[in-house]
Amino acid sequence: MGSSSSKGVGVVETAAATTASNAAAAGGDKPKCKACCACPETKRARDQCIVENGEENCTKLIEAHKQCMRDAGFNI
């Protein structure tokens, strides 16, 4: 009984590791920082525009931030 639950944990850990490696492979380079710290310039401009003008009026800044995140290695 105890051994079956430790096998389940191993499967979950392996699946998580596989998912992480597949994400890195799909996006090319592995991100060098956390998503919250990537692209601060485009993030700041996007967020300010959304607050002041609404999301529907900031599509260019939103797409620019998404592209910056992709260039940094994130799968967005």
Per-residue pLDDT tens, the chain, 76 aa: give them: 554 444 444 443 433 333 344 444 444 568 889 999 999 999 999 999 999 999 999 999 999 999 999 999 999 8
Cite the annotated binding site for Cu cation by residue number: 36-37
Cite the annotated binding site by residue number: 36-37
Length of the chain: 76
Number of domains in the chain: 1
Whole-number pLDDT of residue 4: 47
Q: Report, in this order, helix, strand and coil percent for the chain, each rounded to 5.
A: 80, 0, 20
Whole-number pLDDT of residue 28: 56
Any domain includes 12 = no
Q: What is the pTM of this model?
A: 0.60
Whole-number pLDDT of residue 31: 83
Any domain includes 20 = no
Range of the domain at 63: 47-72
Contact 52, 30 (CB under 8 A): no
Distance in angstroms (rounded) separating the CA atoms of residues 41 and 9: 40
